[in-house]
């Protein structure tokens, strides 16, 4: 009996420790990548979610929901952190001299964004390629640039263009190509409710747009 009580107490302490560490890691990750919302704004957002729960007929004071507005506010703070980031800060001088002159492609960069029409997620992958012009960028920075624009209210068409144009501006390469493919919950969960639809968008700049052979090579690399 005593052993069971001690074991239960240990499990409770470990669970609390894991939860606490998880919250710290989430806050630390947010702090490293973006400025948090001001306390007043976070409080306003919390109230909005509480009013939302009441508006749909829920009781925002019941046990299961009493902390939901604050959690939802924190989640929205994270999901929209791109508004408080800039490409210049993300790149942080991680551009290096290089003699490379062939296509550099980073495939299958996971992205999660929110549709600006319904505030529902769209989830997919970005494929980003560029042709160096004496400079290359740190590999992880390409993924971070994708996140800067994905962590905003978006439409996929604009997201694709923003990623390409920002890389073109900061790196000044011979060309940039971006392809984004994503599934949209605003189309899957509501409206036409089509579960297998996939949207693909592209933005080709520089030699990827002007040179058919370069464009063909990029498309071939995507298929591999």
pLDDT tens by residue, 80-95: 999 999 999 999 889 9
Res 9: pLDDT: 52
Q: Respond yes or no: is residue 156 known to be catalytic.
A: yes
Query: 68 and 109 share a domain?
Result: no
Instruction: Give the CATH number, domain containing residue 34.
Output: 1.10.286.10
Q: Which residue has the tokens 């263009």?
A: 161
Domain containing 115 equals 94-223
Asked if residue 50 is part of any domain, the answer here is yes
Distance of alpha carbon 220 from alpha carbon 224, whole angstroms? 7
Query: 22 and 110 share a domain?
Result: no
Among the options 33, 115, 127, 154, which is catalytic? 115
Is residue 199 a contact partner of residue 154, using CB atoms and an 8 Å limit?
Answer: no
Q: Respond yes or no: is residue 27 known to be catalytic.
A: no
Instruction: Give the CATH number, domain containing residue 140.
Output: 3.30.1130.10
Displacement of CA 38 from its chain's centroid (Å): 21
Among the options 118, 165, 170, 172, which is catalytic? 118
- Binned at pLDDT 50, 70 and 90, residue 59 comes out as very high
- Binned at pLDDT 50, 70 and 90, residue 35 comes out as confident
Res 38: pLDDT: 86
Neighbours of 53 (CB within 10 A): 17
Considering the chain, what is the average pLDDT of its residues?
Answer: 89
Distance of alpha carbon 121 from alpha carbon 77, whole angstroms? 15
Distance of alpha carbon 27 from alpha carbon 18, whole angstroms? 14
Res 25: pLDDT: 45
Q: Respond yes or no: is residue 184 known to be catalytic.
A: yes
Total count of domains within the chain: 2
Q: Respond yes or no: is residue 116 known to be catalytic.
A: yes
Q: Respond yes or no: is residue 186 known to be catalytic.
A: yes
Query: 113 and 218 share a domain?
Result: yes
Query: 73 and 166 share a domain?
Result: no
Q: Respond yes or no: is residue 203 known to be catalytic.
A: no
Among the options 85, 154, 156, 162, which is catalytic? 156
Q: Using the predicted structure, report yes or no on whether residue 177 has a pLDDT greater than 60.
A: yes
Percent residues over pLDDT 90 in the chain: 80
Q: What are the CA-CA distances from residue 31 to residues 34, 66, 69 (Å)?
A: 6, 26, 21
């Amino acid at each position: 009996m005593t052993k069971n009580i001690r074991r239960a107490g240990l499990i409770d302490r470990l669970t609390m420790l894991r939860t606490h560490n998880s919250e710290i890691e989430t806050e630390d990750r947010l702090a490293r990548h973006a400025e948090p919302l001001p306390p007043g704004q976070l409080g306003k957002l919390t109230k909005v979610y509480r009013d939302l729960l009441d508006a749909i007929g829920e009781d925002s004071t019941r046990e299961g929901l009493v902390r939901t507005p604050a959690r939802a506010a924190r989640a929205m703070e994270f999901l929209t952190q791109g508004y408080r980031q800039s490409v210049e800060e993300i790149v942080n001088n991680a551009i290096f001299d290089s003699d490379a002159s062939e296509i550099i492609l980073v495939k299958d960069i996971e992205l999660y964004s929110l549709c600006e029409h319904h505030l529902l997620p769209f989830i997919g992958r970005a494929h980003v390629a560029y042709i160096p012009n004496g400079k290359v960028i740190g590999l992880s920075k390409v993924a971070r640039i994708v996140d800067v624009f994905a962590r905003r209210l978006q439409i996929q068409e604009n997201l694709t263009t923003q990623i390409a144009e920002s890389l073109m501006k900061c790196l000044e390469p011979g060309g940039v190509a971006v392809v984004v493919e994503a599934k949209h919950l605003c189309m899957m969960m509501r409206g036409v409710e089509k579960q297998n639809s996939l949207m693909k968008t592209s933005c080709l700049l520089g030699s990827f747009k002007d040179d058919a052979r370069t464009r063909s090579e990029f498309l071939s690399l995507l298929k591999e």
